[in-house]
């Protein structure tokens, strides 16, 4: 059902470096690289994550209550994604661990303050 998710940025080059490194841990690569946005996916026809300068030209801001969750596949991959994001300058929003039942997740804020969850169930 989801085709793509867009996150705003005020510095596309800086954000692209962060997402190139973090999303590579999931096997994702750039599939589109335009002047105003960059898109990553793990394979053609799969959901994409876009990082974009806002269309209206105003500064990108963080949505309160908005979060993008990225399926990691294993506890080890959640741990690795969390460590990679933190090393690249992300802010901690919750270290890896069991949250409920079999849900294992970790939470960070990217360089612009967008909230990400890396998880497996």
Give the separation between CA 61 and CA 79, rounded to whole angstroms: 27
pLDDT value of residue 1: 79
Mean pLDDT rounded to a whole number for the chain: 96
Q: Which residues contact 99 (CB under 8 A, 6 or more apart)?
A: 105
Confidence of residue 12 (pLDDT cuts 50, 70, 90): very high
- Does the pLDDT of residue 54 top 90, yes or no? yes
Q: Which CATH number fits domain 4-53+67-120: 3.30.565.10, 3.30.300.30, 3.10.180.10, 2.60.40.3080?
A: 3.10.180.10
Predicted confidence at residue 64, as pLDDT, reads 86
pLDDT in tens, 61-71: 998 889 999 99
Is the pLDDT confidence value at 97 over 90? yes
Give the start-to-end residue ranges of the domains of the chain.
4-53+67-120
């Amino acid at each position: 059902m989801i085709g793509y998710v867009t996150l705003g940025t005020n510095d596309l080059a800086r954000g692209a470096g962060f997402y190139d490194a973090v999303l590579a841990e999931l096997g994702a690569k750039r599939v589109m690289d335009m002047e105003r946005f960059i898109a990553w996916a793990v394979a053609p026809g799969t959901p994409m994550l876009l990082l974009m300068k806002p269309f209206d030209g105003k500064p990108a801001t963080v949505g309160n209550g908005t979060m993008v969750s990225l399926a990691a596949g294993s506890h080890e991959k959640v741990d690795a994604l969390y460590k990679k994001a933190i090393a690249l300058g992300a802010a901690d929003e919750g270290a890896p661990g069991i949250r409920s039942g079999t849900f294992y997740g970790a939470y960070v804020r990217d360089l612009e303050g967008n909230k990400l969850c890396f998880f497996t169930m």
